[in-house]
Structure 1
Amino acid sequence: MKGPLFYAKILLFGEYGIIKDSKGLAIPFNAYRGALKSTNDLSGVSKKSNENLELFYKYISNLKTDIVSFNLSEFKTDIENGMYFDSSIPQGYGVGSSGALVASVYDKYATNKITVLENLTREKLLKLKEVFSLMESFFHGKSSGLDPLNSYLSLPILINSKTNIEPAGIPSQKEGKGAVFLLDSQQIGETEPMVNIFMNKMKNEGFRKMISEEFATTTDACIEDFLGGNVKSLFGNVKLLSKIVLKNFKPMIPNAFHKVWEKGIKTNDYYLKLCGSGGGGYILGFTEDFEKAQKSLKEYKLELVYRF
C-alpha cells in the first residue's frame, strides 16, 4: 500500500492573527512531503508512526460529530497490517507535519469526502476546514484546520476571516534577487505551549489593542502587497511586521535569535518573522537580495521558498 503524497505548508503571513480573525496567506511547500505506507517490518521511526496512528485512530473513533464519518474498520485493519506515515516533513518546525498526516487520513478513510477535483465553493472549503480542525486538534489541543486544508488542496489559500477563505492566485516566481527563505533554528518548537502564551497575553488590554491596531493591519498590508506583486511596498511592511513581532512576541522567538532578528532590521539585509507558532523550528525570512542575506546569515542553514 502506498497513498498519495501530501505536501508541507508555509503560512507566509497570519500566524496568531488568524486565531483572532485577521487575514492569513498559506502556500504549499513541495520540498517536504509525506504519504501513508505499509511495511511488514515496523521498526524505529515507522514503528513510532504506527503507534501514533493507533492513538489517532482511537481519537477519531471517539469523535462525536455529524460533519464527517470514516471507514474505521479499514483504518484499524491497515494500522494492524503495519501502516505508517512516511514523511520528510520535519516535526515541530512550523511547516505542517501533522497537517499532511491529517490530510492523508481524511483522503483515504473519510466517507463522502469532498474531493479536490470538485467545484470548491466557499461552503465546501469551510466544511473541510471544520473537519480538519476537529481532526488536527488531536495533535495541538486547538487547531484552525488550515494546515491540513492547505496540504489536502495543495493550493495557496487566502484566509480573509474564519468564515471567508478562498484559493488564492500568487504571482509566479521571478528570477530576481529577492526571496522568501526558511532559517533553521535547530530547535524543536511545540505549538500548544506557544498558543497558551499567546492566549494569556490576549487577556491584557494593551496586547489586544496592539494585535488589532498594529499586528493585524500590518499583516493585512503584507498580504495585499504580496498578492498584488507590490514588492517595494511589501518589504516596507515586512520590516514593520518584523519590528512588531520582535517587540511583542519575544517568548515565541528562540533566545539565540533575538540579536539575529535585530541585525536584519538594522542592516536591511533581511527581515525575520515567525513561521507557524514559533518557539523553535523554522523562522521565515524575507530579503531584497538573497546573496546578501546568505552572507549576513552565513552561520545558519537557509532554504529558499520563493523568488521575487
Structure 2
Amino acid sequence: MAKFLKWVEAGPDELLEDVAVRTLDSRLQPVMHYVPLAAKHPERDIEHVHQMRVWARRAKAAMSLYEELLPKRRRKWINAQLQAIRRAANDARDDDVFLQRLAGDAEHAAAARPLLDAVRHHRQEAQRPIVKLWKDLFELGRFPRRCAKLLRKVGLRGAAADAGPIAFRPWAENRIQPLLDAFFAAAEADLSDLGAMHRFRIAGKKLRYAIELLAPAFGESLRTQAYPALQDLQDRLGQINDLAAAQSCLKRWLEQAEGSQQTAYLQQMLDQEQQRLEAQRSECLAWWNARRKKELRHLLASQGLTAAHP
C-alpha cells in the first residue's frame, strides 16, 4: 500500500502561497490514489475504501483551512466532490467492518452464515456508488485536472494580495486560534451527554487536522508532545463513536432480520455493543480529567497557542 504522510513539511518563514500549494497537493494526491483502487479492486484490501474516506476528510480540512486563498467556484466544486467521495464510502466501509466481525465469529457460525450472505450482497450494492463516482470523476481524469487547475490558482486575493507577501507562521497562528478556542470551549460542556461528547470529538478532530497542516510553523514539541496527547484523546473518543456507529448498523440489520435465530443473534450483538459503549464512555470520562486538560493546555501554550476559553 502506498505511503502518504499526514505531516506537511514547510518552514515558518516560507511564503504562505507556496506552503498552501504543497499542502493541498499532499491531501488531494492520496484521494486520487485510493478512489480508483476502491472502485476497481475492493477485494484486494478493505483499507482502500477506508483510506479513500480518511483522505477525503483530510483534503476537505485542508481546503477549509486555505479557503481564503482559493477561487470560489473551483473550491466549491472540489469540496462537493470530496463530500461525495466520503458519502460513497460510508456504507461500503460499514459493511466491510461488519463482514470482518461476522466472519470471525466462529462461536455463532450457524446464526452468522445467512447474515453473512445478506451483508455480502449489501456490500456489492454499496460498491455501485463508488464505481459510479470513479467513472464520473476519475476514469477520464476530470477530478485530477480540476485539482491541477485549482492549485495553479492558489494565492492571496483582494486587499490581502495588495498588502504584500505573507509568511506562513503569522498566518498559521491566526488560523489555528479559533479551532483551539472551539476545542476548549467544547471541553467545558457536560461530556456525559452523547451529543456534547460528539461535538467535542468533532472540535478535536478539526484541531488535530489543523495541527497536522500547520505544525511546521511552530516548534517541534507541537508535533512530538501536544499532538500525541490530543491524538490519544481523539482515539478514545473515536472508539466511542465507532461503537455508536456499530449500534446504528446493527439496528438497521435487526429491522430486516429473518427468523428468530437471526433476530436473537443480532439482539445479542446489539446488547453487547451497548455495554461496551457505556463502559468506554465511563472510562473516557474518567481519563479526561482536569489534570489531563491542564497538561494539554500547557503543551499547547508552550508553542504560543493559548485558548481564549478559561
TM-score by length of 1: 0.28
Structure 1 or 2: more helix by fraction: 2
| Structure ID, larger Rg | 2
